[in-house]
Amino acid sequence: MKPGDDRVPSVALRTDVAHPARIYDFLLGGKDNFAADRDASVEITGVWPNLPKSMRANRSFMRRVTHYLAAEQGIRQFLDIGTGLPTSPNLHEVAQAVDPGARVAYVDNDPMVLVHARALLTSTPEGRTTYIDADLHDPQAILNAPNLRATLDLDRPVALSLIAVLQFITDEDEAHAIIDGLMKHLAPGSFLALSTVTADSAPEEVTRGIAAYEARGIPERIRDRAEVELLFGDLELVDPGVCLVHRWHPDAEAEATSDAHVHMHGGVARKRG
Protein backbone atom coordinates (compact mmCIF):
# COMPACT_ATOMS: atom_id res chain seq x y z
CA MET A 1 0.00 0.00 0.00
CA LYS A 2 1.30 3.45 -0.92
CA PRO A 3 1.03 6.64 1.17
CA GLY A 4 -2.35 8.28 0.81
CA ASP A 5 -4.17 5.04 -0.02
CA ASP A 6 -5.05 4.09 3.56
CA ARG A 7 -8.12 6.15 4.22
CA VAL A 8 -10.88 4.11 5.87
CA PRO A 9 -14.39 5.49 5.46
CA SER A 10 -16.89 5.86 8.26
CA VAL A 11 -19.23 2.86 8.29
CA ALA A 12 -22.18 1.51 10.27
CA LEU A 13 -21.25 -1.87 11.74
CA ARG A 14 -24.76 -3.09 12.74
CA THR A 15 -23.35 -4.93 15.71
CA ASP A 16 -26.82 -6.15 16.69
CA VAL A 17 -27.10 -8.37 13.58
CA ALA A 18 -24.99 -11.49 13.02
CA HIS A 19 -22.71 -11.26 10.01
CA PRO A 20 -21.02 -14.20 8.23
CA ALA A 21 -17.56 -12.56 8.25
CA ARG A 22 -17.73 -12.02 12.01
CA ILE A 23 -19.14 -15.54 12.62
CA TYR A 24 -16.18 -16.86 10.60
CA ASP A 25 -13.82 -14.75 12.69
CA PHE A 26 -15.27 -16.02 15.97
CA LEU A 27 -15.14 -19.67 14.92
CA LEU A 28 -11.49 -19.25 13.91
CA GLY A 29 -10.72 -17.84 17.36
CA GLY A 30 -10.69 -14.17 16.39
CA LYS A 31 -11.79 -11.19 18.48
CA ASP A 32 -13.45 -9.01 15.82
CA ASN A 33 -17.02 -10.07 16.57
CA PHE A 34 -19.97 -9.10 18.74
CA ALA A 35 -22.57 -10.77 20.93
CA ALA A 36 -24.95 -11.31 18.01
CA ASP A 37 -22.21 -13.12 16.08
CA ARG A 38 -21.23 -15.25 19.07
CA ASP A 39 -24.86 -16.17 19.77
CA ALA A 40 -25.35 -17.16 16.13
CA SER A 41 -22.12 -19.18 16.18
CA VAL A 42 -23.24 -21.17 19.21
CA GLU A 43 -26.60 -21.87 17.59
CA ILE A 44 -25.12 -22.87 14.23
CA THR A 45 -22.39 -25.11 15.61
CA GLY A 46 -24.98 -26.79 17.81
CA VAL A 47 -26.29 -28.43 14.63
CA TRP A 48 -23.10 -28.12 12.55
CA PRO A 49 -20.38 -29.17 15.03
CA ASN A 50 -17.63 -29.66 12.45
CA LEU A 51 -18.00 -26.19 10.95
CA PRO A 52 -14.92 -24.75 12.74
CA LYS A 53 -12.77 -27.65 11.47
CA SER A 54 -14.09 -27.11 7.96
CA MET A 55 -13.34 -23.39 8.17
CA ARG A 56 -9.77 -24.07 9.29
CA ALA A 57 -9.33 -26.55 6.45
CA ASN A 58 -10.57 -23.92 4.02
CA ARG A 59 -8.14 -21.33 5.39
CA SER A 60 -5.30 -23.80 4.96
CA PHE A 61 -6.46 -24.43 1.39
CA MET A 62 -6.13 -20.71 0.66
CA ARG A 63 -2.55 -20.71 1.94
CA ARG A 64 -1.55 -23.80 -0.08
CA VAL A 65 -3.21 -22.49 -3.24
CA THR A 66 -1.52 -19.10 -2.96
CA HIS A 67 1.89 -20.65 -2.36
CA TYR A 68 1.39 -23.02 -5.30
CA LEU A 69 0.40 -20.20 -7.65
CA ALA A 70 3.29 -18.00 -6.57
CA ALA A 71 6.02 -20.63 -6.20
CA GLU A 72 5.12 -23.12 -8.91
CA GLN A 73 3.19 -21.07 -11.47
CA GLY A 74 5.06 -17.78 -11.14
CA ILE A 75 1.96 -15.69 -10.45
CA ARG A 76 2.81 -12.28 -9.01
CA GLN A 77 -0.64 -10.63 -9.10
CA PHE A 78 -3.64 -11.66 -7.04
CA LEU A 79 -7.25 -10.42 -6.99
CA ASP A 80 -8.91 -11.66 -3.81
CA ILE A 81 -12.68 -11.07 -3.67
CA GLY A 82 -14.59 -11.67 -0.46
CA THR A 83 -11.50 -11.05 1.63
CA GLY A 84 -13.11 -11.14 5.07
CA LEU A 85 -11.46 -10.12 8.31
CA PRO A 86 -7.67 -10.29 8.62
CA THR A 87 -6.43 -13.71 9.74
CA SER A 88 -2.66 -14.13 9.53
CA PRO A 89 -1.14 -15.31 7.35
CA ASN A 90 -3.21 -13.31 4.88
CA LEU A 91 -3.00 -13.97 1.17
CA HIS A 92 -0.46 -11.20 0.51
CA GLU A 93 1.79 -12.51 3.27
CA VAL A 94 1.89 -15.94 1.63
CA ALA A 95 2.50 -14.53 -1.86
CA GLN A 96 5.12 -12.01 -0.72
CA ALA A 97 6.97 -14.70 1.23
CA VAL A 98 7.65 -16.25 -2.20
CA ASP A 99 8.31 -12.94 -3.95
CA PRO A 100 8.32 -9.68 -1.97
CA GLY A 101 7.30 -7.86 -5.15
CA ALA A 102 3.94 -9.64 -5.42
CA ARG A 103 0.88 -7.40 -5.70
CA VAL A 104 -2.55 -8.08 -4.19
CA ALA A 105 -5.88 -6.32 -4.60
CA TYR A 106 -8.37 -7.21 -1.86
CA VAL A 107 -12.09 -6.70 -2.48
CA ASP A 108 -14.92 -6.73 0.06
CA ASN A 109 -17.96 -4.66 0.92
CA ASP A 110 -18.27 -5.62 4.57
CA PRO A 111 -18.14 -2.68 7.02
CA MET A 112 -16.09 -4.62 9.57
CA VAL A 113 -13.44 -5.39 6.97
CA LEU A 114 -13.30 -1.71 6.05
CA VAL A 115 -12.62 -0.83 9.66
CA HIS A 116 -9.69 -3.27 9.70
CA ALA A 117 -8.31 -2.31 6.29
CA ARG A 118 -5.21 -0.69 7.75
CA ALA A 119 -4.19 -3.93 9.45
CA LEU A 120 -4.87 -5.94 6.31
CA LEU A 121 -2.99 -3.74 3.87
CA THR A 122 0.57 -4.01 5.11
CA SER A 123 2.71 -4.83 2.09
CA THR A 124 6.41 -5.40 1.72
CA PRO A 125 8.26 -2.30 0.43
CA GLU A 126 8.88 -4.11 -2.87
CA GLY A 127 5.25 -5.12 -3.44
CA ARG A 128 1.88 -3.51 -3.10
CA THR A 129 -1.55 -4.20 -1.66
CA THR A 130 -4.75 -2.25 -2.04
CA TYR A 131 -8.31 -2.55 -0.74
CA ILE A 132 -11.37 -2.04 -2.92
CA ASP A 133 -14.79 -1.43 -1.40
CA ALA A 134 -16.96 -3.19 -3.99
CA ASP A 135 -19.61 -5.87 -4.36
CA LEU A 136 -19.06 -9.26 -5.98
CA HIS A 137 -22.47 -8.83 -7.63
CA ASP A 138 -20.93 -6.04 -9.77
CA PRO A 139 -17.77 -7.45 -11.42
CA GLN A 140 -17.37 -4.48 -13.74
CA ALA A 141 -17.18 -2.05 -10.82
CA ILE A 142 -14.38 -4.15 -9.36
CA LEU A 143 -12.43 -4.24 -12.61
CA ASN A 144 -12.89 -0.51 -13.19
CA ALA A 145 -11.81 0.54 -9.70
CA PRO A 146 -8.92 3.04 -10.07
CA ASN A 147 -6.86 1.48 -7.29
CA LEU A 148 -7.19 -1.97 -8.87
CA ARG A 149 -5.85 -0.59 -12.15
CA ALA A 150 -3.06 1.17 -10.25
CA THR A 151 -2.06 -2.07 -8.51
CA LEU A 152 -2.61 -4.87 -11.05
CA ASP A 153 -1.66 -5.05 -14.74
CA LEU A 154 -4.57 -6.93 -16.32
CA ASP A 155 -2.51 -7.52 -19.45
CA ARG A 156 -0.42 -9.95 -17.41
CA PRO A 157 -1.62 -13.11 -15.60
CA VAL A 158 -3.65 -12.62 -12.43
CA ALA A 159 -4.88 -15.18 -9.90
CA LEU A 160 -8.55 -14.57 -9.10
CA SER A 161 -9.37 -15.88 -5.63
CA LEU A 162 -13.00 -16.58 -4.66
CA ILE A 163 -12.49 -18.46 -1.41
CA ALA A 164 -15.58 -19.31 0.67
CA VAL A 165 -17.71 -16.60 -0.93
CA LEU A 166 -19.72 -18.20 -3.72
CA GLN A 167 -22.03 -20.00 -1.29
CA PHE A 168 -23.56 -16.57 -0.66
CA ILE A 169 -24.45 -16.30 -4.37
CA THR A 170 -27.53 -18.49 -4.32
CA ASP A 171 -28.57 -17.99 -7.96
CA GLU A 172 -26.49 -20.33 -10.12
CA ASP A 173 -26.85 -18.29 -13.30
CA GLU A 174 -25.57 -15.24 -11.44
CA ALA A 175 -22.62 -17.19 -10.00
CA HIS A 176 -21.56 -18.25 -13.50
CA ALA A 177 -22.06 -14.72 -14.84
CA ILE A 178 -19.89 -13.25 -12.08
CA ILE A 179 -17.04 -15.67 -12.75
CA ASP A 180 -17.26 -15.24 -16.53
CA GLY A 181 -17.50 -11.45 -16.15
CA LEU A 182 -14.26 -11.39 -14.20
CA MET A 183 -12.22 -14.03 -16.02
CA LYS A 184 -12.88 -12.69 -19.52
CA HIS A 185 -10.97 -9.52 -18.63
CA LEU A 186 -7.95 -11.38 -17.24
CA ALA A 187 -4.99 -12.28 -19.43
CA PRO A 188 -4.35 -15.80 -20.73
CA GLY A 189 -2.32 -17.71 -18.17
CA SER A 190 -4.45 -16.30 -15.35
CA PHE A 191 -5.89 -18.65 -12.73
CA LEU A 192 -9.18 -19.04 -10.88
CA ALA A 193 -9.08 -20.46 -7.35
CA LEU A 194 -12.36 -21.03 -5.55
CA SER A 195 -13.98 -22.91 -2.70
CA THR A 196 -17.61 -23.18 -1.71
CA VAL A 197 -19.87 -25.12 0.64
CA THR A 198 -20.79 -28.72 -0.10
CA ALA A 199 -22.86 -31.31 1.72
CA ASP A 200 -21.24 -34.23 -0.13
CA SER A 201 -19.16 -35.26 2.89
CA ALA A 202 -21.86 -34.83 5.59
CA PRO A 203 -25.33 -34.24 4.07
CA GLU A 204 -27.44 -34.11 7.24
CA GLU A 205 -25.02 -31.99 9.29
CA VAL A 206 -24.44 -29.42 6.56
CA THR A 207 -28.12 -29.17 5.66
CA ARG A 208 -28.99 -28.46 9.30
CA GLY A 209 -26.21 -25.92 9.51
CA ILE A 210 -27.27 -24.04 6.39
CA ALA A 211 -30.83 -23.92 7.74
CA ALA A 212 -29.47 -22.34 10.93
CA TYR A 213 -27.63 -19.70 8.86
CA GLU A 214 -30.80 -18.98 6.90
CA ALA A 215 -32.78 -18.61 10.13
CA ARG A 216 -30.37 -15.78 10.94
CA GLY A 217 -31.08 -14.11 7.60
CA ILE A 218 -27.93 -15.43 5.88
CA PRO A 219 -28.97 -17.50 2.84
CA GLU A 220 -26.42 -19.92 1.38
CA ARG A 221 -26.31 -22.42 -1.47
CA ILE A 222 -24.98 -25.95 -1.11
CA ARG A 223 -23.24 -27.30 -4.23
CA ASP A 224 -22.21 -30.85 -5.04
CA ARG A 225 -18.94 -31.65 -6.77
CA ALA A 226 -20.44 -31.62 -10.27
CA GLU A 227 -21.92 -28.15 -9.71
CA VAL A 228 -18.58 -26.82 -8.49
CA GLU A 229 -16.82 -28.28 -11.53
CA LEU A 230 -19.27 -26.40 -13.76
CA LEU A 231 -18.27 -23.11 -12.10
CA PHE A 232 -14.86 -23.45 -13.77
CA GLY A 233 -16.46 -23.50 -17.23
CA ASP A 234 -13.89 -24.13 -19.97
CA LEU A 235 -10.89 -23.30 -17.78
CA GLU A 236 -8.21 -25.99 -17.47
CA LEU A 237 -8.40 -27.59 -14.02
CA VAL A 238 -5.15 -28.21 -12.18
CA ASP A 239 -4.74 -31.72 -10.73
CA PRO A 240 -6.42 -33.12 -8.68
CA GLY A 241 -9.38 -31.11 -9.99
CA VAL A 242 -12.32 -30.29 -7.73
CA CYS A 243 -12.15 -32.02 -4.35
CA LEU A 244 -12.71 -31.47 -0.67
CA VAL A 245 -10.32 -28.64 0.14
CA HIS A 246 -8.04 -30.63 2.45
CA ARG A 247 -7.40 -33.07 -0.41
CA TRP A 248 -5.97 -30.38 -2.69
CA HIS A 249 -2.15 -30.65 -2.58
CA PRO A 250 -2.35 -31.63 1.11
CA ASP A 251 0.28 -30.95 3.74
CA ALA A 252 0.71 -33.16 6.82
CA GLU A 253 -2.11 -31.44 8.71
CA ALA A 254 -4.51 -31.84 5.80
CA GLU A 255 -3.54 -35.49 5.35
CA ALA A 256 -4.60 -36.14 8.94
CA THR A 257 -8.02 -34.48 8.50
CA SER A 258 -11.16 -36.58 8.11
CA ASP A 259 -13.34 -36.10 5.04
CA ALA A 260 -16.39 -36.02 7.31
CA HIS A 261 -15.06 -32.85 8.97
CA VAL A 262 -14.58 -30.83 5.75
CA HIS A 263 -17.58 -29.32 3.99
CA MET A 264 -15.98 -27.25 1.25
CA HIS A 265 -15.15 -28.22 -2.32
CA GLY A 266 -12.35 -26.33 -4.00
CA GLY A 267 -10.12 -26.25 -7.02
CA VAL A 268 -7.78 -24.23 -9.21
CA ALA A 269 -7.94 -23.77 -12.98
CA ARG A 270 -5.92 -21.95 -15.65
CA LYS A 271 -7.19 -19.72 -18.44
CA ARG A 272 -5.87 -21.06 -21.71
CA GLY A 273 -4.34 -19.05 -24.51
Report the pLDDT value the prediction gives residue 2, as an integer from 0 to 100. Answer: 42
Decide if 47 contacts 212 (C-beta within 8 A): yes
- The tens-digit pLDDT sequence of the chain (273 residues) is 443 344 444 455 678 888 888 898 898 888 888 999 999 999 999 999 999 999 999 999 999 999 999 999 999 999 999 988 878 899 999 999 999 999 999 999 887 787 777 676 789 999 999 999 999 999 999 999 999 999 999 999 999 999 999 999 999 999 999 999 999 999 999 999 999 999 999 999 999 999 999 999 999 999 999 999 999 999 999 999 999 999 999 999 999 999 999 999 999 999 998
Sign of the Cα torsion 196, 199, 201, 206 reads: positive
Report the pLDDT value the prediction gives residue 7, as an integer from 0 to 100. Answer: 47
Indicate the pTM of the whole model.
0.92
Q: CA distances (Å), 95 to each of 66, 68, 80, 113, 158, in order?
A: 6, 9, 12, 20, 12
